[in-house]
Structure 1
Amino acid sequence: MGTETKILDAAAQLLEAHGPAGLTTRTVCEVAGVKAPTLYHHFGDKDGLERALVRRAMAEFMQRKRAPAATADLLEQLRFGWDVAVEFALDRPALYIVFAQQVRSHPELAAEGYALMREKVQRLVDTGRFRLPVDEAARAVWAASQGALSLVGQNMARKDVEATSRLLFDAVVNELSQPSPSTQSPS
């Protein structure tokens, strides 16, 4: 195992065991068995270490998100991606908190996830399932998903976060969906 991997593994272990406050460069060095200059050589500073942790987790996350949904239904594929995001955040809440903090100053960390979600929204717009232009619809889906994810780390029961997530998904989808001919008023 390389030095970078050893440091990242130690940081991930500390983060999940003690939360973001327990992730100090001193403790990471102790657990990884390296000196501070080694950590700084590889990551620059604590912010660089956190960014590297987030990048590594995002690679794993995107692999899960890119896995094909077990359905051809485009809306269910969008829901699958949404649910993967919520599950990932609930399974690793401390990492999600660091991710959310890092994305504020480094929005490119979320770019691949946004692009994949936008592709799914594009297909829903192209098939007429969503009535708004793709950029507007994608922003709405993203904002609603971020609202669900913001509940992670707030001492809410998992089932409550999942229930709120389903509610937000259904609400944004209902708003974006084409009205059926039976609900449209006659001209």
Structure 2
Amino acid sequence: MTEVVKSRTDNRTAIVEAAAALLREGGPGAVTTRGVAERAGVQAPAIYRLFGDKDGLLEAVAEHVMATFVAGKVAGMAAATAAHVDPLDDLRESWRRQIDFGLANPAVFRLLSDPDRVLDSAAARIGREVLQTRVHRLAAAGRLRVPEPHAVDVIQAAGVGTVQLLLATPPERRDQALGDSMLEAVLGRILSDAPPTAPAGPRATAVALRAVAPQLTALSDPERRLLIEWLDRITETPA
């Protein structure tokens, strides 16, 4: 039984790595059952047994490529939290890594940006959860003037658009400052105007309190729900 399980695991790894190589070399169209089977040294039926269809295989490849990247982001986030790194500096560094990842892995980036795929993509979901955690740190520090979900959406939309434009531009003509310029534009929209050491305005204060409201054990469950409802009303009202 152990040998069977090991063989299945080995086959899965070989198939995913073969498909990832074909994806890098020729895009999704290059990831054919025959091509993957030949490169992985397996029979084609093994691909269907393990992944169901081509979409299942492509999702596994996206997760495989994202795994190391996300692991690094999570490790960096833990280190940043432990070392009390400013959450804004942490977000800036994460943004640059995300842009670099998209440019280095264009085929995987396009898979993760496909509207028909992203809703059911575990890889895309994990990446968004990492961003949500970083934005939450900003909110808890009183740095946001918009609700957390809106901030996450704005950052993600700007990041996807930036990478798409850069990928559509010949490397020698790419604006190397575009990524930083886009991020600064986004930060101007979502951040409180107050510096970190200054008192935050009412909206930023409400966003910060909303970030920690679920953990306020001094309040009963109904009281917490009411407080969250009030804070959501404040943060979602146009400034």
**Would you say same fold, with TM above 0.5?**
yes
Relative to the length of structure 1, the TM-score reads 0.85
Amino acid aligned to 1:94: A
Count of residues paired in the alignment: 182
| Corresponding residue of 2:98 | 85
Listed as ranges, the matches of 1:141-156 within 5 Å are 141-151=155-165, 153-156=167-170
56-65 or 44-53, which deviates more:
56-65
Q: Displacement of 1:67 after TM fit?
A: 2.9
Amino acid aligned to 1:110: A
Relative to the length of structure 2, the TM-score reads 0.68
**Is the 1:151–1:161 contact (alpha carbons within 8 Å) kept by the matching residues of 2?**
no
Amino acid aligned to 2:66: M
Amino acid aligned to 1:131: R
- The 3 A distance-change label for structure 1 pair 136 and 22 is same
| Corresponding residue of 1:126 | 140
Q: Does 1:52 align with 2:65?
A: no
Runs of 4+ more than 4 Å apart: none
- The 3 A distance-change label for structure 1 pair 34 and 161 is farther
Q: Does 1:18 align with 2:26?
A: yes
Q: Does 1:34 align with 2:45?
A: no
Amino acid aligned to 2:15: I
Larger Rg over CA atoms = 2
| Corresponding residue of 2:226 | none
Give secondary structure in 2 for the equivalent of 1:150.
helix
Q: Displacement of 1:111 after TM fit?
A: 1.8
Q: Displacement of 1:171 after TM fit?
A: 0.3
Once superposed, what is the RMSD of the aligned Cα atoms? 2.5
- 1:126-161 CA deviation, whole Å, 9 max, x = no partner? 222221122222222222122223235424427826
- The 3 A distance-change label for structure 1 pair 107 and 49 is closer
Question: How far apart, in 2, do the equivalents of 1:99 and 1:126 lie?
Answer: 29
Pick one of 63, 70, 90 that aligns with 2:71. 63
| Corresponding residue of 2:86 | 73
Question: How far apart, in 1, do the equivalents of 2:93 and 2:119 lie?
Answer: 28
87-96 or 106-115, which deviates more:
106-115
Give secondary structure in 1 for the equivalent of 2:174.
helix
Listed as ranges, the matches of 1:91-170 within 5 Å are 91-101=104-114, 103-151=117-165, 153-157=167-171, 160=174, 162-170=176-184
Q: Mark the runs of 5 or more structure 2 residues left unpaired by the alignment.
A: 1-8, 196-200, 202-239
- The 3 A distance-change label for structure 1 pair 82 and 17 is same
**Is the 1:131–1:176 contact (alpha carbons within 8 Å) kept by the matching residues of 2?**
yes
Report percent identity of matched pairs.
Answer: 34
**Is the 2:24–2:105 contact (alpha carbons within 8 Å) kept by the matching residues of 1?**
yes
